[in-house]
Structure 1
Amino acid sequence: MTQDNLTQDLLKTPLHGLHIDVGAKMVPFAGYDMPVQYPLGVKKEHLHTRDSAGLFDVSHMGQVRLYGDKAAQLLESLVPVDIIDLPVGKQRYAFFTNEKGGIMDDLMVANLGDHLFVVVNAACKEQDIAHLQAHLVDGVELEVLDDRALIALQGPKAAAVLARFAPQVADMVFMDVVQIELLGSNCIVSRSGYTGEDGYEISVPADKAEELARTLTAEDEVEWIGLGARDSLRLECGLCLYGHDLDTTTTPVEASLLWGIQKVRRTDGERAGGFPGADIILKQIETKDVARKRVGLVGQTKAPVREGAKLFDADDNEIGMVTSGTAGPTAGKPVSMAYVKTEFSALGTEVFADVRGKKLAMTVEKIPFVPQRYYRG
């Protein structure tokens, strides 16, 4: 199959033409033709986002609305997260689990008052929607939003930029979500993102996406940022990528995601448990007995250690594998996420990564590698 045929088979976001116009390098990603980098280049895009503001096209993600009095109860039966008490105007991180306690996908859930707004990963979109549909109950309706784009404005100058067009966004804090008019379009705006920086994610009607993107990137502070820098930014700030650091064989306890399971869902009470795999996950929480743990690793040499690198102890026994790795442009050193046998998960532990036949020393260090700078007011 030729490259042209391959590209024709890929889905395109509403901003596809604009990416081509501004010189993006496009690659297949989760079934879409997506920009991996722009003329600025991955490292400069990464550093620009940390210093100023970057615009990301994340329209390949799935956007869903759940309506009805029992919508929160329905969703809460599928995730180990407190959805029922999620306040109006707030958003929360969640994950679907399976009967073995594994993670089927991670997602964002927002309470918009008359409905829940849910954003799921592109690669899991069809599976997640089918999962929700299979569990629908009377009085709950699911609407798939195929006619909206999703863009993320991220970085320390994001708030100043967006406030020029919608002053009320300056008053939002991390994980706030509002429905507002932006350039005459009805948008859903959350103060959140996937870079560890302050910023916003904006759901916009597909036919208005290009106007909004062009308006934002015309501001001096804003540059287009591709998937390459998105990956290194999220990794430095300790954020998991589904299909790499999380999958159906990994439980939230192994993945060090206990902070995402609120107390009401895991201690005695009528809402504790009741989600797929609850018996396994709650037992792991209680006993702290898991065979492996997600950890952060920092290289002792300058060579980045990428996904798939096997990890060994000092006696050459295999003890785990790297799931994400980058050169760490802001951290100034190679950083990776990995799963290791629990006995090797303590901070300061030295392990060795096999990179093209060479054993490179790495140290277990605290995640995030670069401080998260969410705006909490």
Structure 2
Amino acid sequence: MSDTYDLVRDAGAKPPILTLPLDAWHRERGGRMVEFAGYHMPVQYEGIMAEHQWTRAHAGLFDVSHMGQLVLRGDNVAQALESLLPGAFTTLKPGKQRYSLLLADDGGVLDDLIVTNRGDDFYVVVNGATKHADIAHIAARLPEGVALAHLEDHALLALQGPEAAVALGALGLVPAGDATRTLDALVFMEAAPFVWNGVALGVSRSGYTGEDGFEISVHRDHVAALADALLAQPAVKPIGLGARDSLRLEAGLPLYGHDLSPDIDPVEADLGFAIPARRRVADAGYPGAARLARAFAEGTARRRVGLLIEGRMAAREGAEVLADGRTVGTVTSGGFAPSLERPIAMAFVETALAVPGTSLTLSVRGKTLAATVTSLPFHPHRYVRKGAA
């Protein structure tokens, strides 16, 4: 773990493009590198379509080391989290994870994130493009006695797909804590510490593709060896940002900076599931609670929906959504869905039109495309949940 985060940074200097611990590893394997979230990252290896389909059928290895890995510990840390986020953390049991949102004072979304109760502390993963702003925001609002650390010396890998469990299991991970918390015992949104060849790993059964899979936190000095060991499994191939985006779009999962922003609140983004009933009141004690309470009680003017688009042309972010010639919304994410073999999109539209089966029109580069509102996700989630066969 790194030292507690230093809030003092040179705000005037333009930061250089950073490299991931696996930068050379990606290049050696043919990764086409692009700038993303301030880092050089692989957008693809053999092609987005092929990588997408491989992940849906087998197991894809993603490098998500640009994400921010944070640790919060101290007195009443769960209560401190509830003063910052609209989720329930005082009731989150050790080894369990929860999706939540960092909100501005007016209830707009500053970031979405995953919180894990590790027993002695809480581990939080935030988006790479927003991590430094998130850290500053959180650190400024933590009560005395709660410390924040940024794990800058750790990498993060995501192994996703129906054969991910077999591939990771072949490495012979040993539980580092409770012996019953084996890899096979984990279900969706659970986490546990493991040891692999003497190396400490933090493993969660989670991801952002809609598939079964795992995220693995490991010290940067050991990430190349771990990536090599995973890639040695026949089911595993390296996968780039392009397929990661098409997979999460098919899964109906919002992407911060596109489907989520400070101008959007969680209720209109259709993320009400992340806010339990006891926290849907104006005096719940987190930023934006009053706005969210009104949104739950009165509804919102717009809603995030899925759109099935006719033809082969994709609608990208910013495309206007029309009904009877009137602008009624905006596309926030869109592209071709390899699993569905057709273009899809997510958009915010007037709530009255956010009903599956509603016919709409999209304006794309001077052309109009027919679209139909559909329920999310576009492609079924295949998470391994408790009690599932």
TM-score, with length taken from structure 2: 0.92
CA contact (8 A) 2:322 2:360 kept: yes
Q: Secondary structure at 1:172's aligned position in 2?
A: coil
Q: Tell me the equivalent position of 2:132.
A: 126
Q: Secondary structure at 1:230's aligned position in 2?
A: helix
Alignment of 1:332 onto 2:338: no
Q: Tell me the equivalent position of 2:203.
A: 189
Moved over 6 A (4+): none
Q: 1:263 aligns with which of 277, 280, 284?
A: 277
Q: Tell me the equivalent position of 1:278.
A: 289
CA contact (8 A) 2:107 2:291 kept: yes
Q: Tell me the equivalent position of 1:349.
A: 358
Q: 1:208 aligns with which of 209, 217, 222?
A: 222
CA distance in 2, matches of 1:237, 1:155: 13
CA displacement 1:318-366 (0-9 Å, x = unmatched): 1111110121000222110001111221111111111111110000000
CA contact (8 A) 2:280 2:292 kept: no
* Structure 2 gap segments, 5+ residues each: 1-14, 175-181
Q: 2:370 aligns with which of 341, 361, 364?
A: 361
CA contact (8 A) 1:299 1:363 kept: yes
Equivalences, count: 364
CA contact (8 A) 1:37 1:225 kept: yes
CA contact (8 A) 1:183 1:212 kept: no
Q: Tell me the equivalent position of 2:301.
A: 291
The worse-fitting range, judged by mean Cα deviation, of 163-172 and 173-182 is 163-172
User: CA shift at 1:183, angstroms?
Assistant: 3.0
User: CA shift at 1:149, angstroms?
Assistant: 0.1
Alignment of 1:96 onto 2:105: no
CA contact (8 A) 1:107 1:118 kept: yes
* Structure 1 gap segments, 5+ residues each: 1-7
User: CA shift at 1:310, angstroms?
Assistant: 1.0
Q: 2:25 aligns with which of 10, 14, 18?
A: 18
CA distance in 2, matches of 1:135, 1:101: 16
Q: Tell me the equivalent position of 2:313.
A: 303
The worse-fitting range, judged by mean Cα deviation, of 63-72 and 192-201 is 63-72
User: Identity, % of aligned pairs?
Assistant: 49
1:1-377 equivalences under 5 Å are 9-38=16-45, 40-165=46-171, 166=173, 168-266=182-280, 273-288=284-299, 290-313=300-323, 315-377=324-386
CA distance in 1, matches of 2:197, 2:134: 32
Whichever residue aligns with residue 240 of structure 2, its letter is G
CA distance in 2, matches of 1:334, 1:26: 25
Whichever residue aligns with residue 328 of structure 1, its letter is A
User: CA shift at 1:267, angstroms?
Assistant: 5.4
Whichever residue aligns with residue 25 of structure 2, its letter is L
CA contact (8 A) 1:106 1:121 kept: yes
User: CA shift at 1:303, angstroms?
Assistant: 1.5
CA distance in 2, matches of 1:296, 1:75: 31
CA contact (8 A) 2:306 2:346 kept: yes
Whichever residue aligns with residue 215 of structure 2, its letter is E
CA contact (8 A) 1:160 1:170 kept: no
Q: Tell me the equivalent position of 1:3.
A: none
The worse-fitting range, judged by mean Cα deviation, of 8-17 and 334-343 is 8-17
CA displacement 1:80-106 (0-9 Å, x = unmatched): 100111100001101011121110100
CA displacement 1:68-121 (0-9 Å, x = unmatched): 121111111111100111100001101011121110100000000000000000
Q: Secondary structure at 1:169's aligned position in 2?
A: coil
CA displacement 1:231-287 (0-9 Å, x = unmatched): 00001001110000000010111100001111221259xxx6111011111111011
CA contact (8 A) 1:106 1:120 kept: yes
CA contact (8 A) 1:153 1:199 kept: yes
CA contact (8 A) 1:69 1:140 kept: yes
